[in-house]
Each structure stands twice: as structure tokens, then as C-alpha cells.
Amino acid sequence: MSNPIIEALDAAMIPFRRTHAGEALARVEETLLINTGRQPLPPLPALQRPSLFYFPGLGTRGWYSASEYPSLDSLARLLKEATPMLREEFLTRAHQGELLAYEEQMPGRFPTLDRQDWGSLYLLKEGMRNETNCEACPRSAALMETLYPQFSPSGAFFFSVIGPGTKIPPHHDTMNLKLTCHLPLIVPPDCRIRVDGETREWVEGESLFFDDTFLHEVWNNSDRPRVCLLLDIWHPGLTAIEREAITALGRVMGQFINQGYTPPWSTNGRIFEH
């Protein structure tokens, strides 16, 4: 019996199979089998639950240190230098943009959180520029443009605002082929993030990197908003060939996901209890 998803993904792989040796594509071939149900999802760490896509061989932990990878280290240095500019532009220009409530992004996931609890000013969302917000924050948008090669296919670049007295419940996100970067811009006292069972505090100008398929939660117990710049970037454990193949496969898979397809093992965004 024909399978349109498998056939479309195999067609997208033809140019890669022609030009690259099998070893270079071994993990890509495995991820095709896993994400189309032809091979079971391997055993994962207790707190990891990707809701949409899994790529094998990328590690078994939530937190990553910038010092471990040159690409993360250079990004962290660049963002630290840009922190005063980003903070100033957010404070003076962000009101001209469009703050999106989390409930509008993921309806029904956290229905008790409104725009004041958790809002986002997207300059890049799912790989698409928000021209209104880019015009409102032109220097931030210029920085974003220099970082395009580091963004994952569904990459994001946005200001994330957690309101006073807000707790974001524990949850998992979509795919482990990317890392989430938090650049803290405004951090009141008693604001923390827990990923993979380990709690850390934000320090203004110091980037944090983590795999958001691991259980994570955030709280702001202060009386002021907490503001971070968030970026979705490629997992540094991926090779250039793997990134290229994933980008091509992602375009194909995205068409089917838009039609409602989820892998057989997918949590489909559900929150796990631990």
C-alpha cells in the first residue's frame, strides 16, 4: 500500500542520497523511519517528550553550556554585546508592535494565561518575518538578519514577557533538532526557569541554552515583568549536511502536519505529569 508521506519524503531525499555517502546521512535516514512510524521511538530520558519530531543521537540532557560548542559561545558573546541595545529598543519601541498572547499561539494549552501573563513580540515566527514588529524594532531586526544561518527551519526571534506573579506550567515542546536560547534583558528578583529537573536563574546579558523537548517551567514571583529575547537555533550536534537535509524534509513534513499528521508516538503538545 502506498504511503504519500513516505513517498514525498523519499523523493526529497533523492538529491542527498545521490551526492552523500551513507554514513553522512545515517541519522537522517533513521529519523525518517522514526517519524513515519516504521521504527519505534528509542528509549528517552524520563523528562524528555518531543511532541512532534525526533532526531536521534543529539544528547540526553536539557541544559547546554555555551563553552561546549564554538557556535554557541560566539552567539552568546554577540548577544551579550547587543544586550543594552535590545533592552533599550524593547523599552522605547516595542509598544509600537503587536504583543501576542500565548493563548493566541497555542489555543487551549494554558487557557488561564492572558496577554499580561505571557506575551510575545515576534520579529520572526515559524521562519516568517513580522514586518510590523521589525519596523518597530529596526536595530533588533538588523541583528536578527545577521543570525539567520543559525535559526532552525521553524526559527523564532522574539521578546518574551512574563508578567508579575506568573507561573508557566511544566510542559514539553516540539522537536529536539533545535535549542532554545534565552537572552535575559530585564530580570527582577525571584524569577527562575527549571529545565530537565534543574533550576537556574536568569542573569541579564548571559544567554541560557536548552532543549525544550525536556520538561520545563518558568515563574516570576516579583511585582515586575521579566523580559528575555528568545531564539530558536540549530542544535550544535547537527552536521551541515544534516541541517540541509532536515530543511528539505521539513518543508515536505510541514505540508502534512498542516493537514493534521502527527507521528504515531507524538504527544501532540500534551503536558506530561511527573
pLDDT at 269: 41
Band of pLDDT at residue 192, cut at 50, 70 and 90: very high
Is residue 271 within 8 Å of 35, Cβ to Cβ? no
Is residue 172 within 8 Å of 215, Cβ to Cβ? yes
- Tell me which DSSP letter residue 62 carries: S
Tell which wins on pLDDT, 254 or 138.
Answer: 138
Dist. CA 50–CA 269, nearest whole Å: 8
Share of the chain above pLDDT 70, in %: 96
Q: Is the pLDDT of residue 160 over 70?
A: yes
Is residue 224 within 8 Å of 91, Cβ to Cβ? no
Q: Is the pLDDT of residue 266 over 60?
A: yes
pLDDT at 262: 82
Q: Is the pLDDT of residue 181 over 60?
A: yes
64 three-state secondary structure: strand
Q: How many CA atoms lie within 13 A of 48 on its CB side?
A: 19
Overall average pLDDT of the 208-229 stretch: 97
Is residue 48 within 8 Å of 267, Cβ to Cβ? no
Closest CA to 160 of 71, 212, 226: 226
Output b/e per residue, 40-55; b: 16+ Cβ within 10 A. ebeeeeebbbbbbbbb
Mention every residue, 6+ apart, whose C-beta is less than 8 A from residue 135: 96, 141
Overall average pLDDT of the 147-159 stretch: 93
Instruction: Provide the pairing of β-strand 63-64 with 118-125.
Output: unpaired
3-state helix/strand/coil string of 123-145? EEECCEECHHHHHHCHHHHHHHH
| Rg of the chain over all Cα atoms, to the nearest angstrom | 19
Tell me the residue type at 34.
Answer: I
Is residue 231 within 8 Å of 181, Cβ to Cβ? yes
pTM: 0.93
pLDDT tens by residue, 114-126: 767 889 999 999 8
pLDDT tens by residue, 232-249: 999 999 999 999 999 999
Dist. CA 159–CA 201, nearest whole Å: 18
Domain boundaries, the chain: 4-55+240-257, 63-234
Ordered alpha helix ranges (H), 4-93: 4-19, 26-35, 70-93
pLDDT at 271: 35
Dist. CA 61–CA 182, nearest whole Å: 17
Tell me the residue type at 219.
Answer: W
Tell me the residue type at 129.
Answer: R
- The overall average pLDDT reported for the chain is 91
3-state helix/strand/coil string of 219-253? EECCCCCEEEEEEEEECCCCCHHHHHHHHHHHHHH
pLDDT at 265: 75
> Which element (helix H / strand E) includes 68?
none
Tell which wins on pLDDT, 116 or 166.
Answer: 166
CATH of range 63-234; options 2.60.120.330, 3.60.20.10, 3.40.50.1220, 3.40.47.10: 2.60.120.330
Closest CA to 249 of 238, 62, 42: 238
